[in-house]
Structure 1
Amino acid sequence: MSTATVEAQQRTRAFARVIGPYVATFTTVYAIRLPDGLDAIGDLFAQPILVLLLGALMLGAGLVVIGLHRSWRGPLAVTVSLFGWFVALRGALLVVAPATVESGVEATMLSPTGVLLARVFFGALAVMGLLLTYAGWFTGPKAAKPDHVNA
């Protein structure tokens, strides 16, 4: 299998330059401030229009990534594509089933084990964000190899 085209690799790196710092910043903050989150979650879900708007924005952002990034060649491209799908599905869930999302978040926040696992999850996402940032800003595309060589 050949590597992705240089254009596809550049598009992947462009997405990584945006997604990486965003994910690294916010997941680090979430991991640190997680215990304070229960009040904020309660306030958010008390305003159904805010939940709908948040879900719509997340769905739209995820669909932008899905629509503009169609490359699945290499770990960086797979990570960017999976991020788009993850954000789109989370947004769709907020639009379609906000009560289910709210109960899941509350169950996690009320369990010490759930909070620990959420912190580990957000910490792992922060590391992924740093890796995306590095790959997006400090690496370059690899030359595409031909699928076959003429003798």
Structure 2
Amino acid sequence: MTTATPEARRRTRAFARVIGPYVATFTIVYAIRLPDLPGLVGDLFAQPGLILLLGAMMLAAGLVIIGGHRSWRGPLAVTVSLFGWFVAIRGFLLIAVPGAVESGVDATMLSPTALTVARVFFGVLAVIGLLLTYAGWFRPVR
């Protein structure tokens, strides 16, 4: 397997600079506030126009990452690319089947076990966000 080009490494680092702090901040706050969010989620899904807009923005953001970051060489590049696909798929699902997404969220909020699993999941994502932040901002360029 060949190594990524310098341009691909710079692009990966640039995406990590943006995605890392976003993921770290959002997931830490979300993991802490998860039990308090059922009312907010219910209000959000009660507004179909807002869900459509949110889904469209997520799909667009995911496609920007997918289109702008085509490298899959190395753990950092794979993480950035997978994040783009994850966001795009979530956005598509919000547009295509918002009821299924809402049902999944409701089921998670009602189950103490699923809520714990969700908190652990968001904790892992927070660590990944911190690693992306480090790699994007503080790791020496090679």
TM-score range, shorter chain: over 0.9
- Specify the alignment match of 2:41 in structure 1: 41
The alignment of Structure 1 onto Structure 2 pairs a total of residues equal to 142
Amino acid at match of 2:86: F
Residue pair 1:24, 1:127 contacting (<8 A) in 2 also: yes
Aligned ranges 1:22-33 → 2 under 5 Å: 22-33=22-33
* Partner Cα distance (2:124, 2:139) in 1: 21
- Specify the alignment match of 1:123 in structure 2: 123
TM-score calculated relative to the size of structure 1? 0.93
Aligned ranges 1:61-140 → 2 under 5 Å: 61-140=61-140
Higher helix fraction (1 or 2): 2
Residue pair 1:23, 1:129 contacting (<8 A) in 2 also: yes
What SS class does the counterpart of residue 140 from structure 1 fall into? coil
Larger Rg: 1
Unaligned runs of 5+ in 2: none
* Partner Cα distance (2:138, 2:7) in 1: 17
Amino acid at match of 1:23: V
What SS class does the counterpart of residue 52 from structure 1 fall into? helix
Residue pair 1:6, 1:141 contacting (<8 A) in 2 also: no
Poorly superposed stretches of 4+, deviation over 4 Å: none
Amino acid at match of 1:68: G
Q: Deviations over 1:55-99 (max 9, x none)?
A: 000000000000000000000000000000000000000000000
**Structure 1 residue 20: Cα displacement:** 0.1
Amino acid at match of 1:26: F
Amino acid at match of 2:98: P
Amino acid at match of 1:38: P
- Specify the alignment match of 1:148 in structure 2: none
TM-score calculated relative to the size of structure 2? 0.98
**Structure 1 residue 11: Cα displacement:** 0.3
**Structure 1 residue 31: Cα displacement:** 0.2
Aligned ranges 1:49-60 → 2 under 5 Å: 49-60=49-60
* Partner Cα distance (2:27, 2:68) in 1: 24
**Structure 1 residue 141: Cα displacement:** 3.6
Amino acid at match of 1:129: G
Amino acid at match of 1:39: G
**Structure 1 residue 138: Cα displacement:** 1.2
Amino acid at match of 1:6: P
What SS class does the counterpart of residue 90 from structure 2 fall into? helix
